[in-house]
Amino acid sequence: MAKKGLQTTDKDIINLAKIVGEKEILFKKADLLAYDCDGFTIHKHLPKAVVFPNSTKEVAEVVKYCDLNQLPFLARGAGTGLSGGAIPLNGEVIISLVKMKRLLSVDLENRRAVVEPGFVNLKLTNSIADKGYYYAPDPSSQYACTIGGNVAENAGGAHCLKYGVTTNHILGLEVVLPSGEIIDISTNGVLDLPGYDLLGLLTGSEGTLGIVTKITVRILKNPEAKQTVLAYFDKVEDGSQAVSDIISSGIVPAALEMMDKTAIEGVEAAAFPVGHPKDIEALLLIEVDGISVGITEQIKQILEVCKKRNVREVKVAQSEEERGRWWANRKTGFGAMGAISPDYLVQDGVIPRSRLPEVLARINKISEESGLRIANIFHAGDGNLHPLVLFDARKSGEIEKALAAGSECLRVCADVGGTITGEHGVGIEKREEMRFVFTEREIAAQTDIRDVFNPKNLLNAGKLFPSPGRCVEVKKEMKNARETFV
C-alpha cells in the first residue's frame, strides 16, 4: 500500500509517488532542507516535495498532476544557480532532473550530441574528448552543473568570448510545457524551423516557460593549437586598456579574464595558488586558439599590446600542466574568496568593454563608501563583471550593506549602457534590478510571452520579474537572510 509505505496522508504526495515511484520522492522536512535554496543562499524556502522522474513521460505526468491540482512546481538540476532560480519560493513541488542524466547519442559527423537535462556539463566534453571534440560553454561550475540548468540560465563561461554562450550551441529541445504537453523542437538538430524561435526564447527563460527533458547541442572540434598568456599590471587602468587594445586590434581571443588585487589575494590564499605577485593591481589571463601558425602571430601582438600598456611581467604558458594550473586558479575564484572573507556575494553585471576603467573606479568607490571590500574577477573580454562583495554576516547590518553594494554595482553597469546579468540570470536576486534596464512596458512584453506558455503561472512563479508588492517583501526576505547566515 502506497499510503503505508510512504507514511503520509497527504494525497498529493501519494499521487505523485504513484507517478515516479515511492523511492523517487522526498517529502519529510529533514529531507527537504537540502532543497530550500540553490547556489544563491540568501533566500530559503522549503518545497512541498521533491520528485525524481526517470523519463520525459514521468515529468509530463507530474506536471499534469500539478497543473490539474493547482500545485506550484519548478525544475531543478544540480542546484548550482547563483540567482535563486531553483528556490521554491511558493512551496513548490521540485521536479529534480538529476536522474535523467544519460548521454543519449553522439553524432560526430554532424557535430551534435543529445543529452538528458541532468547530464553534467563537463561530462559531455569528457565523453567526446578522445575523438578530439568538446562542448564549448564552460561555466566555472561545469564539473557539477547540468546542461538542463545551463539551458534554463543560458549559461556562459570563460570561453564564451569567442564561441558564444549556451544559446549559440543549442540545436533542439524536447520540452514539457506547464500544461504537461510534450513538444519537440528540432531535437534532430535541423536549423531554423519555420515559426518563431522558441529555442531561443526557452534558452535563458530560467525555468519559467517549460521543463526541458532532452537537449540537442552542437559540439566542436578541438582547435589545432592553444596558447595562454598571463600578464601582471601595476595599474588597473593599464590592464583595462590592454583589454580594449587586444579586442580592437582584430584578435578574437578564446578567453580574456581579469582579476584585481583583492581577487588575487583570495585565489592565492585558497586551494589553487600559482604564485601571483601579491603587490600587483591587476592580472590578465588571455587565451587564443585556432590554427597554429595563426596564433603565433596573435600571441606576438598580445605581448606587444601588454608592453605598450606598461605590463610588469608577461608570460606564455609553457605546458598544458601550467595552463591547467592558471585556469584552476581562475575557475575556483569565487569560492576562493572564502579564504579571505567569511561571506561573499557575487554580482554579474555587463558593461561595454571600453568603459572598463571608469566602471572599476566607480566600483572601488562603492567599496570605500560601504566599507566592504569588493574583489573583481571577471570575463573582461566581453565586459562581464563579477564584483564579489566581501562581508561578515555575523556583523549586524552587513548583509544589508552587501546587498545594497551589489545592487549599486549593477546600477553603475546599467548607467554606462550595460546590463544587470551576463550569465547568472535574474532569478530572485535581481528581480528589482530589472527596472534598471527595462521599462514597465518592456517587462510587460516579457510577461505577456510567459502567459502564452505558462498561463496559470504555476511553473516557477515569482522569478525574473519585479513584483509590485516589493517593499513588504524586502523586509521579510532580509529577516530570512539574517537567519540563513547566522
Partner 1 sequence: MITSDLLNDLQIIVSDERVVKGQNGDDFLGNSGRIVVKPESEEEITKILQYANAHNRKISIAAGGTKRGFGGITEAEDIELSLENFKGIMEHTVGDMTLTVKSGTPFKELQAYLAQYNQKISLDPFYPERATIGGIIAANDSGPKRLGYGSARDAVIGLRIAYPNGSVIRTGGKVVKNVAGYDMNKLFIGSMGTIGVITEVTLKLRPLPQYESVILLAFPDGHHEWMKSFAVELLDSMMEPVALELLSPTLSENLTGCRYYTVAISFEDVEASVHYQEEFVKKLSSSFANISILEKEKACQFWEHFYNIDHKESEKNETKATLKIAVINLDVIRVIKECEYLSDIHNLKIEGHGGFGHGLCHVHLSGAVEDVKTAITQLRKLATELNGYAVLKYLPLKLRQEINVWGEEPSYFSLLKGIKEKIDPKKILNPGRFVGGI
Q: Which of 247, 258, 40, 255 is nearest to 137 (CA)?
A: 255
Furthest CA-CA distance within the chain: 76
Q: Nearer to partner 1 by C-beta: 79 or 156? A: 156
State in angstroms the smallest separation of the CB of 4 from partner 1.
42
Q: Nearer to partner 1 by C-beta: 97 or 165? A: 165
Q: Contacts for 9-14 with beta carbons within 8 Å, 24 or more apart?
A: 12/48, 12/49, 12/65, 12/69, 12/71, 12/93, 13/49
Rounded Cα gap, residues 4 and 7, in angstroms: 5
Are the C-beta atoms of residues 433 and 425 closer than 8 Å to each other? Answer: no
Q: Nearer to partner 1 by C-beta: 79 or 253? A: 253
State in angstroms the smallest separation of the CB of 313 from partner 1.
26
CA distances from 230 to 117, 239, 308 (A): 36, 11, 15
Q: Nearer to partner 1 by C-beta: 54 or 446? A: 446
Residue corresponding to grid cell 537572510: 481
State in angstroms the smallest separation of the CB of 187 from partner 1.
10
CA distances from 11 to 3, 6, 289 (A): 9, 11, 57
Rounded Cα gap, residues 386 and 406, in angstroms: 10
Q: Nearer to partner 1 by C-beta: 185 or 399? A: 185
State in angstroms the smallest separation of the CB of 288 from partner 1.
12
Rounded Cα gap, residues 360 and 194, in angstroms: 44
Q: Nearer to partner 1 by C-beta: 265 or 432? A: 432
Rounded Cα gap, residues 104 and 126, in angstroms: 15
State in angstroms the smallest separation of the CB of 230 from partner 1.
23
Q: Nearer to partner 1 by C-beta: 72 or 383? A: 383
Rounded Cα gap, residues 393 and 166, in angstroms: 34
State in angstroms the smallest separation of the CB of 362 from partner 1.
16
State in angstroms the smallest separation of the CB of 206 from partner 1.
8
Residue corresponding to grid cell 578541438: 222
State in angstroms the smallest separation of the CB of 176 from partner 1.
12
Q: Nearer to partner 1 by C-beta: 218 or 325? A: 218
Q: DSSP of 102-126, one letter per residue?
A: -EEEEETTTTEEEE-TTSBHHHHHH
